[in-house]
Amino acid sequence: MFKKYSLIFNFFLLGIVLCQNNDQTITEKNSKSPQLNCKNPSVYELDKKLWEYKLQYYKYHQIMYASKKIQEVEQIKNESLIFKENGCWQKKRNLNEQLCSSTFEFEFSNERYPLYSTNAKCDCKYCSMFFGQYLNSDYECLPITEKQPVLARGECSSDGYYQWIETTQLVIKGCTCGYKYQLVEA
C-alpha cells in the first residue's frame, strides 16, 4: 500500500520538476492551436488557482448536497472500455481478497493541470468469489467514479500566457461488484 502512494508522490514531484522552467516556449504537436510565443504561468500560480477552484467547487457541492438539491450518486453506464485486456488473475484476487481487482494507470497531459492523473482499470468483467467461483451473471465489476476539479489549458491571452479554465474530469477511483442492469433510464 505504501509503495503505491510513494509512486504517486514520485510522479507528482516529476510533474513539478518538468514544470519548473517557466520561460520555456510551449509548442505541442497534438495541441489544438499551438501558439509559438505563448507560455505557461508558474507552477505556484497554477497551484494557487487550482487550490482556490477546489475550495469553491467542494463548498458548492457540500451546500447543494446538504440542501438536498443534488444526489450523491450519479449513474453511468457500464462500458467494456474500462476493462483491461490482460485478463483477470484469480491468484491476484485471492491474495488481495477482492471481488473486483483493478490496476492503476498514470496519464500525462500538457492540456490540463495537474499534469498527471491516475485512473483505475478493472481487471475483470465478472465478480469472483474465492477458489475460482464467480457470482451470478447479473453482477459485474463496475467503476467507482469521481469528478475532480482540474484546470484545462485554453487560448493564449494578450499578455503572452495561456489561460487556464476551471473544469472537471471524471476519474475512475476503483472497481466494485454491482448489479449490471440500469434500472432507471437516464
| Residue 123: CATH number of its domain | 2.10.90.10
Contact of 82 with 172, CB cutoff 8 Å: yes
Closest alpha carbon to 15 in 104, 106, 146, 145:
106
Q: Distance (Å, rounded) from C-alpha 65 to C-alpha 59? A: 10
- Total count of domains within the chain: 1
Inside any domain, residue 50? yes
Inside any domain, residue 98? yes
Inside any domain, residue 149? yes
Inside any domain, residue 97? yes
Q: Per-residue confidence at 1, pLDDT binned at 50, 70, 90? A: very low
pLDDT digits (tens, 9 = 90+) for 122-156: 877 777 766 666 677 778 888 888 899 999 999 99
Domain limits for position 174? 37-69+82-178
pLDDT digits (tens, 9 = 90+) for 62-110: 888 888 776 655 444 444 444 444 456 555 555 556 678 788 899 999 9
Inside any domain, residue 8? no
Inside any domain, residue 53? yes
Rounded average pLDDT over 105-116: 92
- For the entire predicted model, the pTM comes to 0.60
Inside any domain, residue 186? no
Inside any domain, residue 15? no
